[in-house]
Amino acid sequence: MSRVVIVGAGGVGSVVAHKCAQVPEVFSEIMLASRTLAKCEAIAASVRERTGRSVAVRQLDADDVGQTVGLLREFRPQVLINVALPYQDLPLMDACLEAGVDYLDTANYEPPHEAKFEYKWQWAYQDRFQEKGLMALLGSGFDPGVTNVYCAYAQKHLFDEIHELDIIDCNAGDHGQPFATNFNPEINIREVTQRGRYWERGEWVETDPLSWSMTFDFPDGIGPKKCYLMYHEELESLVQNLRGLKRARFWMTFSDNYLNHLRVLENVGMTSIEPVEFQGQKIVPLQFLKAVLPEPASLGPLTKGKTCIGCLMKGVKNGKPRTIYIYNVCSHEDAYREVGSQAISYTTGVPAMIGAMLMATGVWRVPGVWNMEQLDPDPFMEKLNVHGLPWVVREL
Q: Which residues contact 1 (CB under 8 A, 6 or more apart)?
A: 24, 25, 26, 27, 28
Query: pLDDT tens, position by position, for the chain (396 residues)?
Result: 799 999 999 999 999 999 999 999 999 999 999 999 999 999 999 999 999 999 999 999 999 999 999 999 999 999 999 999 999 999 999 999 999 999 999 999 988 777 677 899 999 999 999 999 999 999 999 999 999 999 999 999 999 999 999 999 999 998 888 887 866 777 778 788 889 999 999 999 999 999 999 999 999 999 999 999 999 999 999 999 999 999 999 999 998 888 888 888 888 888 888 899 988 899 988 888 888 888 877 888 889 999 999 999 999 999 999 999 999 999 999 999 999 999 999 999 999 999 999 999 999 999 999 999 999 999 999 999 999 999 999 999
Q: How many helices (H) and strands (E) does the chain have?
A: 14, 18
Same fold, 2-142+347-384 and 146-338: no
Q: Say how far apart CA 226 and CA 217 lie, in whole Å.
A: 9
Q: How far apart, in Å, are the Cα atoms of 204 and each of 123, 185, 245, 255, 338? A: 19, 27, 13, 27, 41
Q: Residue 147, Cβ neighbours under 10 Å: how many?
A: 30
Angle made by CA atoms 205, 241, 228, in degrees to the nearest 5: 40
How far is residue 286 CA from its own chain's centroid?
21
Q: Distance from first CA to last CA of the chain, Å, rounded?
A: 43
Domain extent listing, the chain = 2-142+347-384, 146-338
Which bin fits 338, alpha (ψ -120 to 50), beta or left (φ > 0)? alpha
Q: Say how far apart CA 295 and CA 101 lie, in whole Å.
A: 31
How far is residue 57 CA from its own chain's centroid?
23
How far is residue 239 CA from its own chain's centroid?
19
Beta bridge partners of 253: 227
Contact predicate 348/310, CB 8 Å: no
Q: Say how far apart CA 353 and CA 358 lie, in whole Å.
A: 9
Q: Which residues contact 292 (CB under 8 A, 6 or more apart)?
A: none
Contact predicate 182/171, CB 8 Å: yes
Which residue type does 40 have? C
Beta bridge partners of 197: 206
> Tell me, what's the pLDDT at 115?
67
Q: Which residues contact 377 (CB under 8 A, 6 or more apart)?
A: 149, 150, 152, 153, 156
Burial class (CB in 10 A: 0-12, 13-18, 19+), 1: exposed
- Radius of gyration of the chain measured on its C-alpha atoms: 20
Q: How far apart, in Å, are the Cα atoms of 283 and each of 194, 220, 255, 286, 287? A: 21, 44, 29, 9, 8
Contact predicate 313/323, CB 8 Å: yes
Report the top-level CATH class of 146-338. alpha beta
Backbone angles phi, psi at 312, to 5 degrees: -100, 115
Fold for the domain defined by 2-142+347-384: Rossmann fold (3.40.50)
